[in-house]
Structure 1
Amino acid sequence: MSEWGPWIEHDGKGCPCAGAYVQAKFSNGIALEGVVSGVGNQDHGQWDWQWAEKRCMARIIRYRIRKPRGLTILEEIARGVKEPQEVGA
């Protein structure tokens, strides 16, 4: 099981995942990963395509969010659970 969610095609309308740990792919082919602050211009420019175009910046075109480690562990445990069996009297 991957600790990453599916790739999401970004629509360029701002940052939809502030506070999350993401992998992002840019229009210039570069890929980065890290926590997205979503505050001010620190991460804002690449997520908002209108802002990026005005400043000749690469735009984020797709991203995926890393699942919390606890969720990944719980998914592994759930996969190992068998169907309940009826116990005879």
Structure 2
Amino acid sequence: MHINSGTKLLVDSSIKPVDGNLLLTQVNGEYGVFRLVTILRHGLESLIDKSEFIPFGDEFVDDEIVIEGVVTFIIYDAKNEVFDDTVVF
């Protein structure tokens, strides 16, 4: 997802997460961004290591994981060239 150091995330805690959303989470007290997966399996998929998956049942309940909100925008620092400048038509 090209979320590098210095990248800004706009997070909305009022949105109900759905399959495919990126979520800002706290896992064991550490912040991270995971993709919510609810089709075929239920859990949080790491964006860094696809083999890292935190499963949960139909009802998400886990004292070790806190969902802070849904990532709605990713803002890149253009002066540091940490963005994808590929033109898409």
**Higher relative helix content:** 1
Q: Same fold (TM over 0.5)?
A: no
Higher Cα radius of gyration: 1
Write 1 or 2 for the structure with the bigger share of strand.
Answer: 2
TM-score under structure 1 length normalisation: 0.39
